[in-house]
A and B are shown apart, each in its own frame.
Chain A
């Protein structure tokens, strides 16, 4: 099922469509939330809120706003960052950038079952540290490219092309063409 069909289903509030929504995106949203919150229980609570928020506000989404995934990942990030900020009110953005998706998965958690299947473990080992940092700030943490460029102390143009190269590496390993 492609995204357009899914959106039609969700907008009809069909219960089957919830299953699709959950199957397609919950794990990814959970990954992003967990990357910011670093606590499984809290991340689960936020994921629940986020899924409900998405469901309730489906009517306000339309494609002129961008990709559906972009829309939901923003909701997830914002909810997680709000929670994070409420606990770490000073310098939250600075602190936020110290942990990344690699340090999170290095923890002793059981990773999702699909981890091995898609070869994330081996991919992480291959990925350059600068790629990890860039993808972490831009994608996971939702830094603007200006903020990320300042954080990494590189020009914005360089950041954009490096990020592109990093995603290409990722796609090669995941065989996403």
Chain B
């Protein structure tokens, strides 16, 4: 490759930009030393890009000159140069490693305490939630207890029937307010997919009216259930029905029955 071709290849521009690797760079430097026209070309390229970049800069405020000069010649103390000696390098590295390890340890500790806080927070939330539930239940029981104690509240015993002779239940019915509460503590847990349904009955003629389902039977520890109000009834019965309840009672599955 002759000099013109070498120059035309575009390698000198990249040399000025700083975009060459070590070998390419030393090759260009060799050429510069040997050929004045290569050196001249490099200088011209450099001049062009200096003028281009100067020309595409915004106005540089004069204050910058003062600021930099002051920093260099007055308050600026010489800091660690790029070419520091080996001793300093090692101390620097050692310090970095110590810092790194320490930071890592602290970071871990921080993460640990963070997860501890998280656990405690969850526990606290659970307890608060539980407390709320208990308070609500308590209120509910109090209401029921007051209801049972009321003068106008009647107590009807429902006895076990053919399908489950040992079962029993109580109905609390207030004829003034028409409110009804079922105590189902004498009933066995319903099988899966089944639910107890409560009926108020008129006997002449026999007319059953559904007044509610004993949903969430297992979860209701006190087995006290609020059902719909009843104005007029001769008897109450509880049957076992498919989940969701039935329109008419399945009499073969009549668990308890009680006449007023």
User: What is A's interface to B at a CB cutoff of 8 Å?
Assistant: 15, 18, 22, 24-32, 34-35, 40, 43-44, 47-48, 51-52, 55-57, 59-60, 64, 66-67, 69-71, 73-74, 77, 101-102, 104-105, 109-115, 118, 120, 123-124, 135, 138-140, 142-145, 160-164, 167, 170-171, 174, 176-177
When distances are taken between beta carbons in the complex, the residues of chain B under 8 Å from A104 are 56
Question: 3 smallest A-B Cβ distances: which pairs?
Answer: A31-B57, A120-B55, A160-B10
When distances are taken between beta carbons in the complex, the residues of chain A under 8 Å from B60 are 26-27, 30, 44, 47, 112
Report B151 CB to chain A, min CB distance, Å. Answer: 76
Of the residues A34, A47, A73, A160, contact of B9 by C-beta under 8 Å: A160
A167 touching B45 in the complex, CB below 8 Å, given contacts A59-B83, A113-B59, A160-B10: yes
Q: Is the interface of B mostly helix, strand, loop or mixed?
A: helix
Q: Does A44 contact B71, Cβ atoms closer than 8 Å?
A: no
Report A105 CB to chain B, min CB distance, Å. Answer: 5
Report B12 CB to chain A, min CB distance, Å. Answer: 8
Q: Give the nearest-CB partner of A63 in chain B.
A: B29
- Please name 13 further chain A to chain B contacts, defined as beta carbons within 8 Å, in addition to the given A69-B50, A142-B19, sorted by A numbering: A27-B54, A28-B49, A28-B51, A56-B81, A64-B29, A70-B18, A112-B60, A123-B55, A139-B17, A160-B10, A161-B8, A170-B52, A171-B48
Q: Give the nearest-CB partner of B12 in chain A.
A: A164
CA–CA, A118 and B168, complex, Å:
107
Residue total for B at the interface (Cβ-Cβ under 8 A): 46
**Would you list 21 pairs from A and B whose C-beta atoms are within 8 A, ordered by A residue?**
A18-B69, A27-B57, A31-B52, A31-B53, A31-B57, A32-B53, A34-B57, A35-B56, A66-B29, A67-B16, A70-B18, A114-B55, A118-B55, A139-B49, A145-B14, A145-B19, A161-B10, A164-B10, A174-B51, A176-B47, A176-B48
Q: Does B25 contact A66, Cβ atoms closer than 8 Å?
A: yes
CA–CA, A97 and B212, complex, Å:
72
When distances are taken between beta carbons in the complex, the residues of chain B under 8 Å from A29 are 53
Q: Does A74 contact B54, Cβ atoms closer than 8 Å?
A: no
B243 CB–A CB distance under 8 Å: no
Q: Does A138 contact B56, Cβ atoms closer than 8 Å?
A: no
Q: Does A167 contact B48, Cβ atoms closer than 8 Å?
A: yes
B191 CB–A CB distance under 8 Å: no
Report A9 CB to chain B, min CB distance, Å. Answer: 14
Q: Give the nearest-CB partner of A24 in chain B.
A: B50
Which of B72-80, B201-209, B246-254 faces chain A? B72-80
Q: Does B56 contact A120, Cβ atoms closer than 8 Å?
A: yes
B11 CB–A CB distance under 8 Å: yes
Q: Does A110 contact B59, Cβ atoms closer than 8 Å?
A: yes
When distances are taken between beta carbons in the complex, the residues of chain A under 8 Å from B79 are 56
User: What is B's interface to A at a CB cutoff of 8 Å?
Assistant: 8-11, 13-19, 25, 29, 42, 44-61, 64-65, 67-69, 71-73, 76, 78-79, 81-83
Q: Does A135 contact B83, Cβ atoms closer than 8 Å?
A: no
Report A142 CB to chain B, min CB distance, Å. Answer: 7
When distances are taken between beta carbons in the complex, the residues of chain B under 8 Å from A30 are 57-58, 60
When distances are taken between beta carbons in the complex, the residues of chain B under 8 Å from A47 are 60, 64, 68
Of the residues B57, B71, B81, contact of A59 by C-beta under 8 Å: B81
CA–CA, A26 and B53, complex, Å:
10
CA–CA, A30 and B11, complex, Å:
25
Q: Give the nearest-CB partner of B58 in chain A.
A: A109
Report A125 CB to chain B, min CB distance, Å. Answer: 13
Q: Give the nearest-CB partner of A159 in chain B.
A: B10
When distances are taken between beta carbons in the complex, the residues of chain B under 8 Å from A135 are 52
Of the residues B9, B49, B55, B82, contact of A161 by C-beta under 8 Å: B9
